Structure 1
Amino acid sequence: MTDTPKRQRRLSPAWVGRLPSWSLLAAGALVGGLLGGAYGELTPPKYTATSYVIVVPTGQAESGSALGFAQAYGRIATQLAVLTDARYGAGVSVRTLQRSVQAATSPDAPMVAVSATSSRPQRAKDMANAVSRSLTRQANAAKRSTHVELVQFSRAGKPTEPTSASTTVTALVGASAGGLLGGLVLLARPRRPLKDDEPAPAASVPGPAAAADVKGKR
């Protein structure tokens, strides 16, 4: 008694080409949604706290100089000298401050916004306030030469809601990306080959009206 070898079905481009069009889109959206939802569920939420400082000109400075100094202070707010002084008040390392703190300025107002992001709301608040205090101290140490001073405009409060994307949003983004990839696979898949007994599409033959029109043009 001889054993007959069993044929193993393998995934091939021809097999993919025989799948229904909707199945690729649905499978891509389903897998992408599951991955996006899992990412949102496993990733801890992030909280952001923001502190504001404002540049005020002294008696010897021009009113327009405050805006220029605000742009300069916004660039040095995340520099090593400021963060090294702020690490004691924030209770974290300088490397953590470098990853978590950002500064932004406005082209219309002499104000600097110092934002800190963390998975712990209290830590985000402490980092934002510590960096703004350190920036204010270093800026005011040179106010005799700059003729401007930095004043605390608004302290950062403890955030109550996360600023990171929710699980629903990450699932929707993943489903959209998965559906897009499924559509790209659908466009790239090979066409279904014709069978031996399947007639080839006939060439279009002009009808009587079209033939008369062509003869008239001649």
Structure 2
Amino acid sequence: MMDETVREESAMPAPEARRRGNRLRARLRRLPTWWPLPLCALLGATGGMTFGMVQPAQYAATSYVVVVPAEGSDAATALGFAQAYGRVATSGAVLADAHHVSDVPLAALRGGVRATTSPDAPMIEITGTAATPRASADIANAVARSLTRTGNGTATRTRAKLMVFSRATSPVDPSSPSVPIATEVGACAGGLMGGLLLLVRPRRRRGASHGATVPAPAHGPVPAPGAKAAAREAVR
């Protein structure tokens, strides 16, 4: 019997909790409708600043490999081979050869190299990314030399020769975003989320936004048409 009484008392909401809930709802109703926008922007800026401070700096260095057509070959052939060599620049065979020749760790080569090609020129851009400037340049140069050796091994059949057009040098500034840029990006992303939240949230009623109460509809039977006129005739 005592346990049932305790359960019934615990199930009933406390008056103090109800009053606090009512005060909180009243304060939220008094806030302007656009309050999620600055709040989300502030949260996004805080998150971006934290990410910029915690994320370690990354450096990127780039080397260029050019495809030279053999005598009697046209430029379109060299452009096509440049696209093909750009796809195999980050393959296992090229990276393994770069590891054996330059002693750069294979894991660093796999996770820190990127190759891109141009649709207008037979040029391959090889970018190395690492935690230090010297390491990023070593990765880019090692892969560029390995790709050149791989391509020149079949030059008699492809009639296209590869050569290192420009070696990578140690960068001065990191490629990762700085703290101010990360903060600005986070603020913009938070502001965008706040704007989307304003679009999808239900709009307040005009009376509720000013604290006015909407009168409840009156209950009771609705008189039939002509009932008032019949009542007046009966009184007469």
Map 1:1-218 → 2, pairs under 5 A: 5-7=15-17, 9-10=20-21, 16-88=28-100, 89=102, 91-93=104-106, 95-187=107-199, 188-191=201-204, 193=208, 194-196=212-214
Give per-residue Cα distances to partners, 1:12-64, cap 9 Å, x unaligned: 88864442235322221111111111101111122110111111122353443
Deviates more, 1:7-16 or 1:29-38: 7-16
The Cα of 1:127 is off from its aligned counterpart by 0.4
The TM-score normalised by the length of structure 2 is: 0.73
> CA RMSD of the aligned region, Å?
2.5
SS of 1:50 mapped into structure 2: strand
Shift in alpha-carbon separation, 1:184–1:60, aligned structure 2, 3 A: closer
d(CA) in 2 for partners of 1:148 and 1:171? 48
The Cα of 1:190 is off from its aligned counterpart by 4.7
Check conservation: 1:17, 1:190, Cα contact below 8 A.
no
- What is the match of residue 207 of structure 1? none
Would you tell me which structure has more helix in proportion to its own residues? 2
d(CA) in 2 for partners of 1:185 and 1:58? 61
SS of 2:35 mapped into structure 1: helix
Check conservation: 1:90, 1:130, Cα contact below 8 A.
no
d(CA) in 2 for partners of 1:180 and 1:21? 16
Number of matched pairs: 194
SS of 2:17 mapped into structure 1: coil
d(CA) in 2 for partners of 1:22 and 1:90? 58
The Cα of 1:82 is off from its aligned counterpart by 0.6
| Higher RCO (CA-CA < 8 Å; seq separation 6+) | 1
d(CA) in 2 for partners of 1:53 and 1:184? 46
Check conservation: 2:126, 2:140, Cα contact below 8 A.
yes
- 1:7 partner letter: A
| Structure 2 unaligned regions, length at least 5 | 1-13, 217-236
SS of 1:7 mapped into structure 2: helix
- Greater C-alpha radius of gyration: 2
d(CA) in 2 for partners of 1:197 and 1:105? 70
The Cα of 1:139 is off from its aligned counterpart by 0.6
| Structure 1 unaligned regions, length at least 5 | 199-218
Shift in alpha-carbon separation, 1:189–1:54, aligned structure 2, 3 A: same
The TM-score normalised by the length of structure 1 is: 0.79
SS of 1:64 mapped into structure 2: helix
Aligned sequence identity (%):
45
Shift in alpha-carbon separation, 1:28–1:64, aligned structure 2, 3 A: closer
Check conservation: 1:52, 1:152, Cα contact below 8 A.
yes
